[in-house]
Amino acid sequence: MRTKVAIIGAGPAGLLLGQLLHIYGIDNVILERHTGEYVLGRIRAGLLEEGTVELLDEVGTGARAHREGLVHGGIELAFAGSRHRIDLKGATGKTVMIYGQTEVTLDLMNARQAAGLTTIYEAEHARPLDFDTDHPRLGYVKDGVTGEIACDFIAGCDGYHGVSRASVKPSAIQTFERVYPFGWLGILSDTPPVSHELIYSNHERGFALCTMRSTRRSRYYVQCSLEDQIDQWPDDRFWDELKWRLDSEAADKLVIGPSIEKSIAPLRSFVAEPMRFGRMFLAGDAAHIVPPTGAKGLNLAASDAHYLAVALREYYDDKSSAGIDHYSEKALARVWKAVRFSWWMTSMLHKFPDTGTFGARIQLAELDYVTHSAAAMTSLAENYVGLPF
Ligand SMILES: Cc1cc2nc3c(=O)[nH]c(=O)nc-3n(C[C@H](O)[C@H](O)[C@H](O)COP(=O)(O)OP(=O)(O)OC[C@H]3O[C@@H](n4cnc5c(N)ncnc54)[C@H](O)[C@@H]3O)c2cc1C
């Protein structure tokens, strides 16, 4: 098989890149380890920046998001027993949209199928080969049969545990990492959200987040220990803990119900530099991870896909390598700002085991400042709605 761009991974980064390349007239094939159903079953991010929605519009998959997505003009920060609104729209003119990653993925998969583009699901043992030459190849095994895709470029959109980054020789890559000493226990429930906007809560028992996927489906998180196991958190314990960590008005309003999904996710900041190795590029979680506090993971995957698609269009249409030569630098400049913001939100809102009462007082001072200074509020809002790309 031969294509121009062989993409590893049918997550948001790979699927969006595939659609952008398609509308730019660049032939591409996606190789995915799992089935489409498995990919769609993973409950992950749910908040889209306006720039991400614009990219979905650009590839013609934004219609359902505009119909079903919930547009939010603000978020609330809860601390010291009360809630304070950050007016995102007032501060920046921009909004964010609640629309689940599973829905984004489904829309992109449907568009890919409708366009008749090739996606090889259940492809095992993907191997990026010869990407330091002008003739890269992507090896894989499907149904026990070995296959190979000859291509001009490989796009490693295969997430944090993918094979692309792992195929680079260690001396060619530098990584930066911070692992946080706690995780997020999240549940999904078919109950109406406690508030129409997100509530981020700093509490002495630990962080909590009230978010949603629709007007009937809620997503709630509480900070938990990394040692915790799911079976230690029956629904009743989760709801009790969440109520503890909310202000009394929200705790009274909270509608509880059985969880339909429950999982624990560790929190990590991670960046790999550079994001280009000869004729292989990394995009999305393959190159960087952020703690979900800033809601940036999915949005960074989208901006990487945009930068890479535009660079490749320049390569094919204008016969210029300038775009692909600057892809890594351009993407990383935005990535690091989102890494900083996600780290800062995480630091301000969580209970840290080693910073004691001094650390807790500093957090309260910062929250008080952020919710009362127009300059600080604007800075938070500008980052939360997404820096331009
Ligand atoms: C448990 C969890 C919860 C999250 N919650 C949030 C959240 O609340 N908010 C937020 O903003 N972000 C969240 N994120 C982050 C967000 O979901 C990711 O940033 C986003 O999925 C990145 O998209 P991606 O396409 O780069 O990677 P992925 O979505 O990981 O997609 C990578 C794809 O590559 C495939 N793949 C991997 N290896 C191979 C291989 N060898 N061969 C072929 N295919 C391969 C995988 O199966 C997968 O389909 C969460 C992430 C996780 C893991």
Q: What is the pLDDT of residues 349-388, one digit of tens each?
A: 999 999 999 999 999 999 999 999 999 999 999 999 999 9
Give the per-residue pLDDT at 82.
95
Question: Average pLDDT in the 30-53 region?
Answer: 95
> 339-353 burial, b for 16+ CB within 10 Å, e for fewer?
bebbbbbbbbbbbee
Mean pLDDT value across residues 211-226: 96
Average pLDDT over residues 248-259: 97
Cis peptide before 258 (omega within 30 of 0): no
Please, what is the average pLDDT of the chain? 97
Give the active site residue among 140, 180, 200, 220.
Answer: 200
Closest protein CA for atom 15 of ligand 1: 297
pLDDT above 90: residue 248:
yes
Do residues 156 and 162 make contact, with C-beta atoms less than 8 angstroms apart?
Answer: yes
pLDDT value of position 43? 85
> Model confidence at 164, in pLDDT bands (50, 70, 90)?
very high
What single DSSP character describes residue 351? P
CB neighbours of residue 70 within 10 Å:
18
48-76 mean pLDDT: 98
The pLDDT of residue 72 = 98
| Ligand 1 closest atom vs CA 284 | 26
Q: Is 330 a catalytic residue?
A: no
Q: Edge-to-edge, what's the strand order for the sheet holding 118-120?
A: 118-120, 28-31, 5-8, 153-156, 280-282, 276-277
* Residue tagged active-site, from 22, 203, 288, 296: 296
Taking the centre of ligand 1 as the mean of its atom positions, its distance from the CA of residue 367, in whole angstroms, is: 31
Which tens digit of pLDDT belongs to each residue from 20-34?
A: 999 999 999 999 999
Atom of ligand 1 nearest to the CA of 162: 38
Ligand 1 nearest-atom number relative to CA 304: 26
pLDDT tens digits, 224-240: 999 999 999 999 999 99
pTM: 0.97
